[in-house]
Amino acid sequence: MPVLHNRVSNEELKARMLAETETRTTVSFYQYFVLDDAQAFRDNLYVKFMQCQVFGRVYVAAEGINAQVSVPASRFDDFKAALFGAHPALDRIRLNVALDDDGKSFWVLRMKVRDRIVADGIDDPTFNPSDVGTYLKAEAVNAMADDPDTLFVDMRNHYEYEVGHFENALEVPSDTFREQLPMAAEMLADARDKNIVMYCTGGIRCEKASAYMRHQGFKNVYHVEGGIIEYTRQAKAQGLPVKFIGKNFVFDERMGERITEDVIAHCHQCGEPCDTHTNCRNAGCHLLFIQCSRCQAAYQGCCSDDCQRELALPLEAQRERRRGRETSMKIFNKSRDRLRGALRIPAPDENGSSER
């Protein structure tokens, strides 16, 4: 029986990845389909992916698969054969190849079985996840973006929306996808006669969101096929204007793909234009936030004076201070006000700046 999980430390695996000389390709994909035995499917695919030296994060559930992985260039055809042959529903699955890729996105393969590939909180037995909105390719997306009777709805988290979004897109200000769904329906209650375009990073959230909106009685529901990644690829390949501005946040070591040169976010510490995400270097915090190079140097990669002081302590003293500490701040937080409160800085003024 082959080993079906990793037994090597993260530090060693990361060092191995960084020492690789072969080019890797970062790719994301998802597919909603019915799995009778999600664990057996996971185990079989895990063995095949390990043989192809695939790194990344893969979630499997009775409703399908969701993954972000990196694959050695020489094994890419083997990887596709393994994936396409794993189930009849996957023989035509769309692969979203990263737009801005250094091949260093992952260093270990983690495959987990979950209740859902997207935690949606839907328990209505009459909900039909396959009754989705109309797919839109890049040209149609641009036409919709120019239509005053169309609303674009961003189904991502605040930290994603903050650094990049479609022009004039509506942000749904909730902390989780399961909260966003009913909130989006409530926010759009008076816009039932308008075209509603849902979008997300690679398509998985907005596809389910479009089905939810149809379930709530909305008729003119659309979603961007393949999400921001595929839209941008199509638009650039066809020489179309790119209506998404800024950066596309991604859930790997890169933390972002540059779509346009626009920098629409600000450093959470000084307020200067910046869209570079980082995690606080203090392991007792590890908060995700935006930090410019100047503040990175001044705070030594930390989010606050407190974390900087704690990081300077001997390791045992750091551990003693963290013992029993609430760790919720490690969780990505969508709320703009709560994030600023955690960093102990005021909100920016009308010009986008803030004082320390």
Q: Which amino acid is at 268?
A: H
Handedness of CA 70, 71, 76, 78 (dihedral sign): negative
Question: Among the residues of 164-237, which ranges form H helices?
Answer: 177-187, 204-215, 227-237
* Cα three-residue angle 339-344-347, rounded to 5 degrees: 65
Whether the CB-CB separation of 197 and 243 falls below 8 Å is answered with no
Whether the CB-CB separation of 231 and 223 falls below 8 Å is answered with no
**Cα separation, 211 vs 341, whole angstroms:** 35
**Cα separation, 312 vs 258, whole angstroms:** 34
CB atoms within 10 A of CB 277: 22
Q: Which amino acid is at 278?
A: T
Structure tokens at 203: 């398509």
Given 52, 200, 280, 302, the catalytic residue: 200
Q: Which amino acid is at 188?
A: L
Is 274 annotated as catalytic? no
**Cα separation, 82 vs 54, whole angstroms:** 11
Structure tokens at 298: 């001044």
* Cα three-residue angle 34-35-38, rounded to 5 degrees: 150
What size, in residues, is the chain?
356
User: Residue 183 to residues 160, 291, 292: CA-CA distances in angstroms?
Assistant: 18, 30, 33
State how beta strands 96-97 and 24-32 pair. antiparallel
Q: Which amino acid is at 132?
A: V
**Cα separation, 136 vs 197, whole angstroms:** 9
Structure tokens at 27: 């790719």
Tell me which residues are annotated as active site.
Answer: 200
